[in-house]
């Protein structure tokens, strides 16, 4: 992956080893580049692409790598790369829909240190952190926590306490969020924008807190998913706009499309519960029960209110399962 060596974080933004009480270079050595190949006919190929690149973090000496799950969803090939070793194949072990975490097992000896898991609940506004993608200090940025708040994604996703950092890392997917004690506190997920007091839009990174991993790690390693009933999934992409929550996309062949939901519909309520924002919308959908439950949406279409009954599904049933080569 020669592209990894063709760029670097500006020197003035790179973390200085002298500013940290832990061995910064060793910690950064646990972060690897990750690339994956997805079949063209895979369910997520159209939305997420067939060639995906990002990072992962070695969290166990046996080569277990934590990343962000969209990089490895439906992957038929995964490669892990570091500055000190040859590319190593990996196997996509698990992807948790609720948190967004993904796990990869290296299929060869990485020879890299593992990064210990910390406690992300201790992070506060203004705390100094390092956000690092694979490639050492040149691919790391000294950042600060600028927010801890709820995050709702258009793809039926919700975190009640996401971590936001700035300045933003330009290659955030699967990047390591490293705290002041040299431990892993989160995994990079998105680049989002936030307004400041001057009305400017600033880029910041959204990271998934590592505390969400601890309760589910054994399940992911044992079953490849969390061992509990799945949430109802509609296959509906929604966004908050001035006139309410609007359907902006539909998964092809998904429950919402089959039920007759259309792009441009305004979502008024789920059952009898109004849904004024994305977080409330997804919470109301999930409160219908488990995957397979009927979800009734009140929609405004062409100034006419209509009710659509959607037989929800388990999203995992639409995805290819990982194959071990």
pLDDT in tens, 24-42: 999 999 999 999 999 999 9
Please report, rounded to a whole number, the percentage of residues in the chain having pLDDT higher than 90.
Answer: 90
Mean pLDDT, residues 78-104 taken together: 94
C-alpha to C-alpha distance for 155 and 162, rounded to whole angstroms = 16
- Which CATH number does 1-228 carry? 2.40.10.120
Mean pLDDT, residues 33-62 taken together: 96
C-alpha to C-alpha distance for 296 and 8, rounded to whole angstroms = 49
pLDDT in tens, 242-293: 989 999 999 999 999 999 999 999 999 999 999 889 999 999 999 999 999 9
Residues of the chain with CATH 2.40.10.120: 1-228
**Contact at 8 Å (CB) between 237 and 257?**
no
Write the secondary structure of the chain as one string of H (helix), E (strand) and C (coil). CHHHHCCCCCHHHCCCHHHCCCCHHHHHCCEEEEEEECCCCCCCHHHHCCEEEEEEEEEECCCEEEEEHHHCCCCCEEEEECCCCCCEEEEEEEECCCCCEEEEEECCCCCCCCCCECCHHHCCCCCEEEEECCCCHHHEEEEEEEEEEEEEECCCEEEEEEEEEECCCCCCCCCEEECCCCCEEEEEEEEEEEECCCCCEEEEEEEEEHHHCCCCHHHHHHHCCCCCCCCCECCEEEEEECCEEEEEEECCCCHHHHHCCCCCCEEEEECCEECCCHHHHHHHHHCCCCCCCEEEEEEEECCEEEEEEEECECHHHHCCCCCCC
Above 90 in pLDDT, residue 194?
A: no
Give the pLDDT band of residue 2 (cuts 50, 70, 90). very low
Sole residue written with tokens 């997520």: 44
Q: What angle do CA 73, 79, 81 make, to 5 degrees?
A: 130
pTM, to two decimals: 0.94
Mean pLDDT, residues 87-100 taken together: 96
User: In terms of Cα–Cα distance, which of 178, 316, 172 is closest to 235?
Assistant: 316
Q: Which residues does 249 contact at the CB level (< 8 Å), separation at least 6? A: 154, 236, 237, 263
- Return the pLDDT at 1: 36
Q: In DSSP terms, which residues pair with 81 in a beta bridge? A: 33
- Return the pLDDT at 200: 73
- Which CATH number does 236-318 carry? 2.30.42.10
Residues of the chain with CATH 2.30.42.10: 236-318
**CA dihedral angle for residue 303, residue 309, residue 311, residue 315, rounded to 10 degrees:** 20
């Amino acid at each position: 992956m020669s592209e990894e060596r063709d760029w670097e974080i500006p020197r003035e933004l790179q973390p200085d080893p002298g500013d940290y009480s832990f061995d910064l270079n060793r910690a950064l050595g646990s972060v690897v580049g990750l690339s994956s190949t997805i079949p063209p006919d895979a369910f997520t190929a159209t939305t997420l692409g067939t060639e995906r690149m990002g990072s992962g973090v070695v969290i166990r000496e046996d080569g277990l790598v934590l990343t962000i799950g969209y990089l490895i969803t439906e992957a038929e090939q995964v490669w892990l790369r570091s500055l000190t070793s040859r590319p190593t194949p990996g196997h996509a072990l698990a992807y948790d829909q609720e948190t967004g975490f993904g796990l990869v097992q290296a299929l060869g000896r990485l020879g890299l240190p593992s990064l210990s898991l910390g406690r992300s609940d201790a992070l506060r506004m203004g705390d100094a952190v390092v956000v690092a993608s694979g490639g050492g200090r040149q691919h790391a940025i000294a950042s600060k926590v600028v927010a801890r708040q709820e995050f709702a994604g258009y793809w039926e996703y919700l975190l009640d306490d996401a971590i936001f950092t700035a300045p933003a890392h330009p290659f955030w997917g699967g990047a390591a969020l490293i705290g002041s004690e040299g431990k892993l506190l989160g995994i990079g997920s998105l680049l989002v924008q936030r307004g400041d007091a001057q009305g400017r839009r600033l880029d910041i990174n959204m990271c998934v807190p590592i505390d969400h991993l601890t309760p589910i790690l054994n399940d992911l390693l044992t079953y490849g998913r969390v061992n509990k009933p799945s949430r109802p999934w509609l296959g509906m992409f929604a966004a908050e706009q001035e006139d309410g929550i609007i359907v902006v996309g539909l998964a092809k062949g998904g429950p919402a499309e089959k039920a007759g939901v259309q792009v441009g519909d305004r979502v008024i309520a789920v059952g009898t519960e109004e849904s004024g924002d994305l977080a409330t919308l997804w919470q109301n959908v999930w409160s219908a029960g488990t995957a397979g439950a009927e979800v009734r949406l009140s929609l405004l279409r062409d100034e006419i209110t209509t009710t659509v009954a959607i037989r929800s599904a388990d999203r995992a049933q639409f995805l290819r399962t990982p194959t071990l080569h």
